[in-house]
C-alpha cells in the first residue's frame, strides 16, 4: 500500500499538503516510526516522498444514522427510514416504521452518536389526560429516565411516564423573555416543569406550577431542587380546574396543553389579574390556524364578563399532516 513518508518535525504540514492535493486516504491508519510519520495515500502526486508499506484499515465512526445503516438495511428500507430523532439527555427517542429491524436501528444510533446511551422506540401517540407516549427500549442501557439541559436549566425526564418535548425549547425562551421581574405566574399544565424552570432561571418571579400526573409532579419537585429554585416555583399536584381558584390572581398564565386547553380557558382566564396575559396553545389546521382559537378565547372571556385582546399569534411547530401547534398570547381586562 502507498504511503507518504514525512519527517516527524514537518509531518503536519505534509499532511495538509496531501489534503490540498487530494491524495490523503482516510480509510487507512497513519503509521509512525521514531523519526517519521507515514500517511496513507490514495494516489501518487509530484512533490511527495512515496514508499510502500503494509496498511491497516482505519475503523471510522459512521457520521450519521443513515451512514451506519448503509449496507445493513435494504435500500428500500433505508428510503423509508425516519432518520431524525429527539434527544433527551443521553436517550434518543425515534419512530421506527413497522417491519423494520428495531435492534439494528437502535444499535446504529449508538454507533453513530457516542453520547447516546439508550435508544427508545416511540410506542404510539401521546394519549390520556397525562399526554404520555409509551416507549420501548430497543438498544443500550435499559432505562427511560435522563437529565436534559436547555437554557441553563437541568431537568430529569422519564420519557415513558411523562410528557416532554425538547421541540418546545424556543417557545419556552420566548415566554421567559416577556416576563417582567417580580411577576406572579400561573404555570399550569407544568409537566416536569420546563416552562416554570426556564422562566424562573431567567427572571426573578414567583410561579404557581400545577400538574396532574403524579410522576411528572415528583420529577418537577426534583427539578426545582436541582436548579435551586425552591421558593420561586411553588408546585402543586392536582387539577387546574380545582387548584386555580386557590392561587393568587396572576400577571401571566401559561396554558401549554394544546390538546385540551380549549376546555380550560375559563378557569385559566379567571386566574389572570385585570391586564394579565394568557399564553394559550392549540392544535390547528394549517389552512386557518387562528380564527377558531380566537373565537373560543373571546367567547370564554365574555362568559366571565371580561374582554380578551389578542397580542400575538404564531405557529410553534408542525404537529401532523396539515396541523400545527399554535400559540396565542392575549390579555384580559
Ligand atoms: C402537553 S403536556 C405539557 C407539559 C409541559 N408543560 C411541557 O411542556 O413539557 C400537558 C400536561 O398537563 C398535564 N395535565 C393534564 N390535565 C391537567 C389538569 N386538568 N390539571 C393539571 N395538569 C394537567 C398533563 O399531565 C401533562 O403533563
For 134-189, how does the pLDDT look when each residue is reduced to its tens digit (9 = 90+)?
999 999 999 999 999 999 999 999 999 999 999 999 999 999 999 999 999 999 99
Find the 288 Cα to ligand 1 centroid distance in Å: 25
Three-state secondary structure call for residue 137: strand
Q: Tell me how far CA of residue 232 lies from CA of 79, 207, 280, in angstroms.
A: 49, 6, 23
Query: Domain 65-143: which topology?
Result: GMP Synthetase; Chain A, domain 3 (3.30.300)
CB 189 within 8 A of CB 255: yes
From the alpha carbon of 190, which atom of ligand 1 is closest?
6
pLDDT band at residue 316 under the 50/70/90 scheme: very high
Pocket of ligand 1 (CB under 6 A): 129-131, 163-165, 168, 189-191, 194-195, 210-213, 216, 239-241, 256-257
- How far is residue 289's CA from residue 242's CA, in Å, rounded to a whole number? 30
State the pLDDT at residue 88. Answer: 98
Closest residue to atom 19 of ligand 1, CA basis: 239
Q: Give domain 158-332's CATH number out of 3.20.20.140, 1.10.10.10, 3.20.20.210, 3.40.50.150.
A: 3.40.50.150
Find the 240 Cα to ligand 1 centroid distance in Å: 9
State the pLDDT at residue 58. Answer: 78
Buried b (16+ CB within 10 A) or exposed e, 135-160: bebbbbeeebbbebebeebebbbbbb
pLDDT at residue 327 tops 90: yes
pLDDT band at residue 304 under the 50/70/90 scheme: very high
Q: Answer yes or no: pTM beyond 0.75.
A: yes
State the pLDDT at residue 59. Answer: 75
Q: What is the distance, to the nearest Å, from the Cα of residue 81 to the centroid of all Cα atoms in its chain?
A: 20
The alpha-helical segments, DSSP class H, found in the chain are 11-20, 65-69, 75-80, 102-112, 169-178, 194-202, 214-226, 240-243, 265-270, 291-303
Q: Tell me how far CA of residue 266 lies from CA of 30, 144, 212, in angstroms.
A: 69, 36, 18
For 4-27, how does the pLDDT look when each residue is reduced to its tens digit (9 = 90+)?
999 999 999 999 999 999 999 978
State the pLDDT at residue 71. Answer: 79
Three-state secondary structure call for residue 73: strand
For 250-301, how does the pLDDT look when each residue is reduced to its tens digit (9 = 90+)?
999 999 999 999 999 999 999 999 999 999 999 999 999 999 999 999 999 9
**How does the average pLDDT of the chain come out, rounded?**
95
Of 70-79, 118-127, 263-272, 286-295, least confident by mean pLDDT is 70-79
Hey, where are the domains in the chain? 2-52, 65-143, 158-332
Q: Candidates 211, 246, 247, 282: which one to mutate for ligand 1, based on the most atoms within 8 Å of Cβ? A: 211
Find the 42 Cα to ligand 1 centroid distance in Å: 58
Amino acid at each position: 500500500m502507498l504511503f507518504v513518508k514525512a519527517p516527524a518535525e514537518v509531518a503536519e504540514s505534509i499532511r495538509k499538503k496531501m489534503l490540498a492535493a487530494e491524495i490523503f486516504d482516510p480509510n487507512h491508519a497513519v503509521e509512525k516510526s521514531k523519526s517519521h510519520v507515514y500517511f496513507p495515500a490514495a494516489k501518487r502526486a509530484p512533490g511527495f516522498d512515496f514508499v510502500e508499506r503494509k496498511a491497516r484499515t482505519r475503523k471510522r465512526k459512521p457520521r450519521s444514522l443513515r451512514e451506519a445503516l448503509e449496507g445493513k438495511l435494504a435500500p428500500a428500507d433505508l428510503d423509508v427510514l425516519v432518520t431524525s430523532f429527539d434527544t433527551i439527555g443521553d436517550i434518543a427517542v425515534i419512530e421506527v416504521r413497522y417491519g423494520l429491524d428495531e435492534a439494528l436501528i437502535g444499535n446504529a444510533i449508538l454507533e453513530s452518536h457516542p453520547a447516546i446511551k439508550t435508544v427508545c422506540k416511540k410506542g404510539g401517540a401521546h394519549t390520556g389526560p397525562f399526554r404520555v407516549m409509551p416507549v420501548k427500549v430497543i438498544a443500550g442501557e435499559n432505562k427511560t429516565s435522563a437529565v436534559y439541559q436547555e437554557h441553563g436549566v437541568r431537568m430529569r425526564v422519564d420519557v415513558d411516564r411523562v410528557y416532554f418535548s425538547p421541540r418546545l425549547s424556543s417557545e419556552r425562551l420566548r415566554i421567559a423573555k416577556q416576563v417582567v421581574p417580580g411577576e406572579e405566574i400561573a404555570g399550569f399544565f407544568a409537566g416536569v416543569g420546563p416552562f416554570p424552570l426556564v422562566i424562573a432561571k431567567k427572571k426573578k418571579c414567583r410561579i404557581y406550577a400545577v400538574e396532574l400526573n403524579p410522576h411528572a409532579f415528583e420529577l418537577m419537585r426534583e427539578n426545582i431542587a436541582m436548579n435551586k429554585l425552591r421558593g420561586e416555583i411553588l408546585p402543586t399536584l392536582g387539577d387546574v380546574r380545582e387548584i386555580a381558584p386557590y392561587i393568587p390572581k396572576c400577571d401571566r398564565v401559561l396554558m401549554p396543553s394544546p390538546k385540551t386547553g380549549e376546555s380550560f380557558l375559563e378557569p385559566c382566564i379567571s386566574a389572570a389579574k385585570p391586564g394579565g396575559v394568557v399564553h394559550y396553545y392549540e392544535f390547528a389546521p394549517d389552512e386557518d390556524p387562528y380564527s377558531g382559537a380566537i373565537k373560543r378565547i373571546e367567547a370564554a372571556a365574555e362568559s366571565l364578563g371580561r374582554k380578551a385582546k389578542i397580542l400575538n399569534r404564531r405557529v410553534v411547530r408542525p404537529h401532523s399532516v396539515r396541523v400545527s401547534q399554535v400559540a396565542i398570547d392575549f390579555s384580559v381586562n
